[in-house]
Chains A and B, each alone.
Chain A
Amino acid sequence: MLRFIIRRVLLAFFTLFAISVTTFAIFFAGPADPASMMCGARQCDPVAHERINRILGLDEPITTQYVKYMKGIFLGRQIGDIECPAPCLGVSFRTREPVTTILARSAPVTLSITVGSAVIYLVVGVGLGMISAIRQGTYMDRAAVGVSLVFASMQIFFLGLLLLYIFVYGYGWLPRPQYHPITENPLKWAGGMIVPWLTIGLISAATYARFSRAQMLETLSEDYVRTAQAKGASKLRVNFRHAFRAAVTPIVTIAGIEIGGQLGGLVITETTFSMLGIGRQAVNAVNNLNLPIIMATVLIAAVAVVVANLIVDVSYALIDPRVRLS
Chain B
Amino acid sequence: MVHRMTSPSGAPASTATGPYLQVNDLKVRFTTEDGVVKAVDGVSFAVERGRTLGIVGESGSGKSVTSLTVMGLHNRKRTQITGQILVGGRNITAMTDDQIRRLRGRDMAMIFQDPLSALHPFYKIGGQISEAYRIHHKVPKSIAKTRAIEMLDRVGIPQPQKRAEQYPHEFSGGMRQRAMIAMALVNNPDLLIADEPTTALDVTVQAQILDLLEDLQREFNSAVVLITHDLGVISQVADDVLVMYAGRVAEYGSAEQVLRAPQHPYTWGLLASVPSLHGNADEDLLPIKGNPPSLINVPSGCAFHPRCRYAMLNGGPCDIEVPELLRLSLSDEPGHVVACHLPERQRKTVYEQEIASVGVAI
Contacts and interface: CB of A to CB of B under 8 A. Distances in A.
Interface in A208-230: 222-224, 226-230
B201 to A, nearest CB: 15
A231 B106 CA distance: 8
A246 interface: yes
A322 B121 contact: yes
Interface in B24-58: none
B102 A232 contact: yes
A183 B105 CA distance: 55
A230 B105 contact: yes
B101 A232 contact: yes
Contacts of B318: none
Interface residues of A, number: 21
A77 interface: no
A233 interface: yes
Given A223-B117, A232-B105, A321-B167, A245 B122 contact: yes
Contacts of A231: 104-105, 109, 131-132, 135, 183
Contacts of B109: 230-231
B122 A320 contact: yes
A257 to B, nearest CB: 22
Interface in B97-134: 101-106, 109-110, 112, 114, 117-122, 131-132
A319 B122 contact: yes
Nearest to A238: B101
A280 interface: no
Assign chain B's interface to a size class.
Answer: 20 to 34
Nearest to B113: A223
Contacts of B112: 223, 226-227, 230
A230 B73 contact: yes
Interface in B154-190: 167, 169, 183-184
A249 to B, nearest CB: 9
Contacts of A287: none
Contacts, number: 69
A107 B122 CA distance: 38
B71 interface: yes
A223 B122 contact: no
A232 B103 contact: yes
A129 to B, nearest CB: 19
Contacts of A320: 121-122
Contacts of B106: 232
Given A229-B73, A230-B110, A233-B131, A224 B104 contact: no
A234 B120 contact: no
Contact of A230 (B71, B102, B120): B71
A229 B98 CA distance: 11
B238 to A, nearest CB: 22
B104 A227 contact: no
Given A223-B112, A319-B122, A320-B122, A234 B71 contact: no
Contacts of B169: 321-322, 325
B167 A242 contact: no
A234 B114 contact: no
Contacts of B73: 226, 229-230
B120 A228 contact: yes
Given A227-B112, A233-B105, 13 more contacts: A224-B117, A224-B121, A227-B118, A228-B120, A229-B101, A230-B110, A231-B109, A232-B101, A232-B102, A232-B103, A232-B135, A321-B121, A321-B122
Interface of A: 222-224, 226-234, 237, 242, 245-246, 319-322, 325
Interface of B: 71, 73, 101-106, 109-110, 112, 114, 117-122, 131-132, 135-136, 167, 169, 183-184
The 4 A-B residue pairs with the shortest CB-CB distance, nearest first, are A232-B105, A223-B117, A232-B104, A231-B105
